[in-house]
Chains A and B, each alone.
Chain A
């Protein structure tokens, strides 16, 4: 276990060191920058009187979809598939949730809420399923197909809400709001401004019940992977396709099912963002990067449930911290992206071999290198 934690921890430290160096070289104060990040992410060491509870709440709001999309990347990893398409699948889920939530806005919550969530999950599953089917039938590389599907989804969202059928009449680039029954409740009552919690009205804390769904998703991931025959098949296919085939596993079917499940996780994450946080599809979603951050989450988390949990907390905190860093320390929040990229570089450079993802990055089935003896954690 010690070795398992050493590499991701080392990568994070490396990334922060180099990130700090970049800040220093360009004339900024790295310590002030990281103090801002820490304050914004965890409410610790705030210089300008930020409310710690509010910061933690913001981190949790960012953390929720990261956890789910992180799972959506990690599960295919186990099958030797690289799902770069979590972003597109998330957008598909957001679109489905919005469309259903707007069209049936008068339905009561017990009916509408399951509809928008299931609709989102299904849309995500279909989006990922395209890549899965193409991989399983004609061998089209999932990295390339999911990249293409990401862009199709992104442009489709722009089409929908800029002059398209989902744009709010006479509005800006935003859809009509989803019905009240389609919204995930927040943990704290949001309507009542007289209720003061941690010094602020309860309504400002946006932590919502989607968090519970995210935890369930993580548990499902761990259960499916380690306690079901499907999980066994996924891991077997990931270890060696020829061996899995020889062992009687239907490899194309496993590939497709894996992608469907992964897409459902991502799509659900997108639906939860609409149902729990934004309540409408807006131009904010053009620049959403959750599905790409998820790649870093899955890699940093070594593809394990516990790892994904911690990695999601880290990246949720980084995103929440970025804006405080910008306002308090005057350091652009884009430093967060720089740090994230550095984490990816350092993990890619030394960890993938340690975990030994077979086939990763290879376009056709290849034998794992004979020297690699490391066990999958």
Chain B
């Protein structure tokens, strides 16, 4: 029984929930990107590659300029450019979006490793100095709130940004004309087109946004949580984000809940030595949970109707 009480104590520590939120945000950003992209009707399994690209170029820029803000911007843009490839291939050329997504992920893994070797030789990339990391900022007054202050208001700047973005995406998607248009394009592009909505523009915008968000997550991973670039450092997080998106039923808040669940698993492992379950078994959990959700055991998860279907005017 001491095991259960140990877990109980652990769950009462603010640090655990702080770590949970941090891990969740890393998944939330690409998951939000996935939600936006798929709501507009473009399947996106390429968050992994966009994150990795973002992480790499962030570190390259940060090592060169020692400015985390500029570096993060470079990473965001790099993620956006990767997304642009996905957009052009799958919207302009109406390619299969899953193949394109796989190609992006392979491309990102290959290109970043290739460039590491070209730029830095075969050694490692090098470490970013403490002053050039994305900072952790305590919000005055709010950080004094017992428990909650530690959990929410003593976080990395990206965590605050992500929480704001979460609200923005949720509101834009469900409370604004733009959101209505995005969803219309994802559900019934022909009807949306007839109503005067530019299907291509909406889809390009949505896919590129997913890349920008994934790029930010890559920057956070590289110079917020870590301080260097390691080949394949995303290690499947983009796919966990994909799982979170499905788990959350293509809704921003739902995805956030999923990210928190997945993040909690990560934090419990990282924060303690009392659970003698293999880290590797725990790492399976997000995927198994998502399979259970997909199996319909916890309510069906149904994608937008036109998700994955390339749009060409005049077909119906």
Seen from chain A, the residues whose Cβ lies within 8 Å of a Cβ on chain B are 22, 26-28, 82, 84, 130, 134, 138, 140-141, 143-145, 147-149, 151-152, 154-156, 158-159, 162-164, 292, 295, 299, 332, 334-342, 344-345, 347-350, 352-353, 357, 360-364, 366, 369-371
Bound form: Cα–Cα A149–B284 in Å = 9
A295 and B107 form a contact (CB under 8 A): no
B308 and A155 form a contact (CB under 8 A): no
What residues of B have a CB within 8 angstroms of the CB of A357 in the complex? 96
Q: 18 more A-B contacts (CB under 8 A) besides A345-B89, A349-B95?
A: A130-B291, A134-B295, A141-B303, A148-B288, A151-B287, A152-B284, A152-B291, A155-B283, A158-B280, A338-B111, A338-B114, A345-B85, A345-B100, A347-B99, A348-B93, A352-B95, A360-B96, A363-B307
Main secondary structure of the interface of B (DSSP, over half): helix
Contacting residues of chain B (247-283) with chain A, CB-CB under 8 angstroms: 278, 280-281, 283
A344 and B294 form a contact (CB under 8 A): no
What residues of A have a CB within 8 angstroms of the CB of B94 in the complex? 353
B280 and A344 form a contact (CB under 8 A): no
A-B residue pair count with CB separations less than 8 angstroms: 162
Seen from chain B, the residues whose Cβ lies within 8 Å of a Cβ on chain A are 43, 45, 85, 89-90, 93-100, 102-104, 106-107, 109-111, 113-119, 236, 239, 242-243, 246, 278, 280-281, 283-284, 287-288, 290-291, 294-296, 300, 303, 305, 307-309, 312, 315
- Give, as a whole number of angstroms, the nearest-CB distance from A9 to chain B: 18
Closest to A140 in B: B294
What residues of B have a CB within 8 angstroms of the CB of A163 in the complex? 278
What residues of B have a CB within 8 angstroms of the CB of A364 in the complex? 305
B308 and A363 form a contact (CB under 8 A): yes
Bound form: Cα–Cα A8–B95 in Å = 15
Determine which of B114, B296, B315 lies in contact with A332 in the assembled complex, contact meaning CB atoms within 8 Å: B114
Closest to B245 in A: A144
- Give, as a whole number of angstroms, the nearest-CB distance from A98 to chain B: 16
Q: List 9 A-B contacts (CB under 8 A).
A: A26-B115, A143-B45, A144-B290, A144-B294, A147-B45, A148-B287, A337-B107, A341-B110, A364-B305
Given A155-B283, A159-B278: A335 and B291 interface contact (C-beta under 8 Å): no
B99 and A140 form a contact (CB under 8 A): no
Main secondary structure of the interface of A (DSSP, over half): helix
Bound form: Cα–Cα A303–B42 in Å = 25
Bound form: Cα–Cα A295–B98 in Å = 11
Bound form: Cα–Cα A138–B295 in Å = 6
B308 and A164 form a contact (CB under 8 A): no
B114 and A340 form a contact (CB under 8 A): no
- Give, as a whole number of angstroms, the nearest-CB distance from A197 to chain B: 34
What residues of B have a CB within 8 angstroms of the CB of A84 in the complex? 98, 102
Determine which of A148, A149, A371 lies in contact with B315 in the assembled complex, contact meaning CB atoms within 8 Å: A371
What residues of B have a CB within 8 angstroms of the CB of A144 in the complex? 242, 246, 290, 294
